[in-house]
Amino acid sequence: MKERIREQSIQLFAKKGFKETSIQDIVDALKVTKGTFYYYFSTKEQLLNDIHLQYIDDLLNKQEDIINHPSKNSKMKLHEIVYMLISDIEKQGQSALVFFREMRNLSEENLKLIVPKRDQFRLNIQQLIEHGIEKEELRSDLPVDIVTLSILGMTNWSYFWFDPNGRVNDKEVSEIFLKIVLEGLEK
């Protein structure tokens, strides 16, 4: 039941927003009552925190699996992370939407746990790029942090427009992204 509440809430938060979704909305959708909700979650924010943690933990795990792979170079790993992010939209894009959009509804307390993980995800990419520079796979004349943020901008923004059933699929989008970022648009 706890899992069902979490899933349903992600759908509703993604569609209507955290504040705009009432506990009543959630329990109505599950055909249970408010008491049930409060049996599993102490507050509404607690639920949001749960969703955030689950999402970022899962993402970090997947990222580390990719990074720790021994026999691949940095460019390949970067490619895989971008693909992982884009392909994730189909499976749990709504979690991502909630993650990006509703973080401000968490208390200071809860943010202390989430923000470092979010930063970790970014820093992992940054290290990957630094590694690529060391190995002379990538150019060295640009500030790595800004480069990282530009790549994350591309991918994160796609949560707002990417349509898994659209003309261009997840694999193609991540390849286009990589081509732009690695090769550039200039002729």
Partner DNA sequence: AATGAATGAGCCTTCATTCAT
Partner DNA sequence: AATGAATGAAGGCTCATTCAT
Contacts with its own copies by CB under 8 A lie at 16-17, 19-20, 75, 101, 104-105, 129, 136-140, 142-143, 146-147, 149-150, 152-158, 161, 168, 173, 176-177, 179-187
Considering the complex, state which of residue 31 and residue 167 has its C-beta at the smaller distance from DNA.
Answer: 31
| Distance (Å) of CA 43 to CA 11, 17, 74, 92 | 18, 17, 43, 23
Q: Which one of DNA, its own copies, none is in contact with 142 (Cβ closer than 5 to 8 A by kind)?
A: its own copies
Q: Which one of DNA, its own copies, none is in contact with 32 (Cβ closer than 5 to 8 A by kind)?
A: DNA
Residue 184 tokens read as: 């550039």
Considering the complex, state which of residue 19 and residue 91 has its C-beta at the smaller distance from its own copies.
Answer: 19
User: 170-183 vs 74-101: helix axis angle to the nearest 10?
Assistant: 120
d(CA 47, CA 39) in angstroms, rounded, equals: 12
Q: Whole-number minimum distance, CB 161 to its own copies, in Å? A: 6
Q: Which one of DNA, its own copies, none is in contact with 38 (Cβ closer than 5 to 8 A by kind)?
A: DNA
d(CA 184, CA 175) in angstroms, rounded, equals: 13
Q: Which one of DNA, its own copies, none is in contact with 39 (Cβ closer than 5 to 8 A by kind)?
A: DNA
Q: How many CA atoms lie within 13 A of 142 on its CB side?
A: 14
Q: Binding of DNA at residue 35 (CB under 7 A)?
A: yes
Q: One-letter amino acid identity for 184?
A: G
Q: Which one of DNA, its own copies, none is in contact with 163 (Cβ closer than 5 to 8 A by kind)?
A: none
133, 140 Cβ separation under 8 angstroms: yes
Exactly one of 45, 50, 130, 175 binds DNA (CB under 7 A); which one?
Answer: 45
- C-alpha of 97 from chain center: 8
Residues at the site binding DNA, with contacts judged by CB under 7 A: 1, 19-25, 32-40, 42-45
